[in-house]
Structure 1
Amino acid sequence: MDLITPLETICRLIIRARENEAQVPAIEADDEADPTDSDDEFAVLEDESNEAIEEEMMALLDDLGEDQVQEILALAWVGRGTYDVSEWEDALEEAADRDAEDPVDQLMDMPTLAAYLDAGLAAFDLTCDGIGQID
């Protein structure tokens, strides 16, 4: 199978999805004057709405063609186990269904998008290993 979406783009989306999944909702302290004074070493991960990463993911998906976003959705479905590799064309067809929820919304609503895309790539013997690495 040849992807129409560059592998580098999918890998970038995986990286951003991992970052998005790693963030946890902020804990609101009632009496704490300055949240930077906290002794919590994980405070840096706290981000109430994950806005910056979500915006970057949305921008990345918005820059792609409709067929590329559908391909990424189908790849996530293969990784999730909704479709098998042998059902790739069916997955692409369903991703292109005009009556279904917007593919970008479906991708953004997947709680483990990074894992699904990783597994989808692996199903087709593709990997992000070495892509975007500084040598």
Structure 2
Amino acid sequence: MLNVSGETVCRLVELAQAFQSQEAIVLPDDGSNPIDQPGDAPMPATGAGEPSQAEFRTIIADLEPDQQTEVVALMWLGRGDFQEDDWDGALRLARDEWSPETADYLLGHPLLAEYLVEGLAVFGVSCDL
């Protein structure tokens, strides 16, 4: 049984999708070919996805630490780090690893939305996206 609501996790999924889809690639505008110049790789646009990222961070900050650890454990479950029968182990590890930077940790995973959807599915919860 989850203490964090499926509705909350689904909102986090929506925001993660929005944040990740808004990340744009900026190519150098100096007439050069970035492929020919190592270290001159395209960079994400500054400010892309900021509103959705800010809302994501606010939702995570408003959750109790136990709820935050459930979101992390759901991500791990969806990523395949844990199986359904080891949910308690995932929660234990998430509690042991908890920090106030939970939002940063979660946002650092490019497939976060997919992992959360997969984790929720284990509990029979789906997001209508």
* Short-chain TM bin: 0.7 to 0.9
1:128 pairs with 2:115:
no
Query: Aligned equivalents of 2:24 and 2:121: distance in 1?
Result: 31
Query: How many aligned positions are there?
Result: 115
Query: Aligned equivalents of 2:99 and 2:25: distance in 1?
Result: 33
Aligned-partner residue type, residue 75 of structure 2: A
2:26·2:45 contact (CA, 8 Å) conserved in 1? Answer: no
TM-score normalised by length of structure 2: 0.78
Q: Percent sequence identity over matched residues?
A: 36
- Per the alignment, residue 26 of structure 2 pairs with 27
- Per the alignment, residue 58 of structure 2 pairs with 59
Query: Aligned equivalents of 2:101 and 2:23: distance in 1?
Result: 26
Residue ranges of structure 2 left out of the alignment (5+ in a row): 31-43
Residue ranges of structure 1 left out of the alignment (5+ in a row): 32-45, 131-135
Aligned-partner residue type, residue 61 of structure 2: D
- Alignment partner of 2:96: what SS? coil
1:21 shift after superposition: 1.2
Residues 21 and 99 (structure 1), Cα distance of their counterparts in 2 relative to 1, 3 Å cut: closer
